[in-house]
């Protein structure tokens, strides 16, 4: 359970859309780039709905047993242990499969019966299936920017979800987010956001990922902690984004414009 309200600044009608999906217990798919607020949004909604949130960080070695459960040896006995998905189904939690495309295709198939009128989870190792708790909800997320032929959701899976597109917020909203999350003053927050807007134009010039809102918050936090502005931007934004010297210099020039060395 999330006790304290996670700060989230709405951009459009995403709260209303999610509430409508929740009212009908429809599965939801959050699509958007890294660090744009997908996870924070879901934490905020779980807090609003007063439902427990179970998060699974998907990866290429994730098996269906990791999600559903497995038999374990305890002393002389063999006992069944529920996986996070099964636990959420039983208890009526929101189950969040983060970066679902990282999981193996044969693993994601197990969620299909939970995404239509059946709302049940087959557990082959127990030879049974369990009906989802009335408050159970399934949410997945992924970054379309990392789509490849080998790593993408099947259309048959995508069409089982209500799709919500996320992107980096407008400058005014993003400034408020940086001010709130990093505790940074308004002038430097505005400068960070303006610089990020310019830096994001380098997406088509070799950067695999653009400057995220999360990175801006990290840079702001370093400034508040006492680092010089340009050094904070270098450590929190530029260095993690690229190892290419030319791209690093191009990014540095952008941030130097907004944070001239004093």
**pLDDT value of position 205:** 75
Structure tokens at 227: 């680092």
Q: Per-residue pLDDT averaged across 176-195, rounded? A: 97
Residue 17 has pLDDT above 60, yes or no: yes
Structure tokens at 97: 């499969």
Residue 134 has pLDDT above 70, yes or no: yes
Structure tokens at 112: 């299909």
Residue 231 has pLDDT above 50, yes or no: yes
Q: Per-residue pLDDT averaged across 169-182, rounded? A: 97
Q: Per-residue pLDDT averaged across 175-200, rounded? A: 97
Radius of gyration of the chain (CA): 21
Query: Helix 245-258 and helix 186-199: axis angle, to 10°?
Result: 140
First to last CA, the chain: 46
Q: Give the number of other CB atoms < 10 A from CB of residue 69.
A: 20
Residue 162 has pLDDT above 80, yes or no: yes
Looking at every residue in the chain, the average pLDDT score rounds to 93
Residue 173 has pLDDT above 90, yes or no: yes
Structure tokens at 230: 């340009």
Q: What is the pLDDT of residues 82-117, one digit of tens each?
A: 999 999 999 999 999 999 998 887 788 899 999 999
Residue 149 has pLDDT above 50, yes or no: no
Residue 255 has pLDDT above 70, yes or no: yes
**pLDDT value of position 107:** 83
Q: Where are the alpha helices (DSSP H) in the chain?
A: 14-23, 38-49, 64-68, 84-91, 105-108, 155-158, 171-182, 186-199, 213-224, 229-233, 239-241, 245-258
Residue 209 has pLDDT above 90, yes or no: no
Q: Where are the alpha helices (DSSP H) in 118-244?
A: 155-158, 171-182, 186-199, 213-224, 229-233, 239-241
225 contact partners, CB below 8 Å, separation of at least 6: none
For 149, half-sphere exposure in the C-beta direction (CA atoms, 13 angstrom radius) is: 0
Region of 35 please: left (phi>0), alpha (psi -120 to 50) or beta.
Answer: left
Residue 198 has pLDDT above 90, yes or no: yes
More confident: 75 or 196:
196
């Amino acid at each position: 359970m999330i006790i304290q309200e996670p700060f989230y600044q709405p951009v459009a009608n995403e709260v209303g859309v999610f509430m409508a999906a929740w009212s009908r217990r429809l599965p939801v798919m959050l699509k958007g780039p890294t660090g744009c607020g997908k996870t924070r949004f879901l934490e905020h909604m779980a807090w609003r709905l007063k439902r427990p949130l179970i998060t699974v960080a998907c990866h290429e070695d994730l098996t269906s047993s990791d999600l559903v459960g497995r038999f374990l040896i305890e002393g002389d006995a063999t006992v069944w242990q529920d996986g996070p998905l099964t636990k959420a189904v039983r208890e009526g939690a929101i189950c969040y499969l983060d970066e679902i495309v990282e999981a193996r295709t044969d693993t994601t198939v197990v969620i299909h019966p939970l995404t239509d009128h059946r709302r049940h989870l087959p557990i082959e190792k127990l030879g049974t299936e369990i009906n989802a708790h009335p408050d159970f909800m399934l949410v997945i997320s992924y970054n379309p920017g990392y789509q490849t032929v080998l790593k993408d959701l099947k259309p048959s899976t995508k069409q089982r979800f209500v799709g919500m597109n996320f992107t980096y917020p407008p400058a005014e909203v993003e400034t408020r987010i940086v001010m709130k999350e990093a505790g940074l003053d308004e002038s430097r927050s505005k400068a960070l956001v303006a610089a990020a807007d310019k830096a994001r134009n380098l997406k088509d010039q070799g950067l695999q990922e653009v400057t995220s809102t999360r990175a801006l918050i990290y840079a702001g936090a370093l400034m508040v902690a006492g680092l010089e502005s340009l050094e904070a931007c270098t450590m929190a934004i530029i260095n993690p984004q690229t190892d290419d010297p030319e791209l690093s210099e191009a990014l540095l020039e952008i941030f130097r414009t907004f944070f001239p060395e004093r």
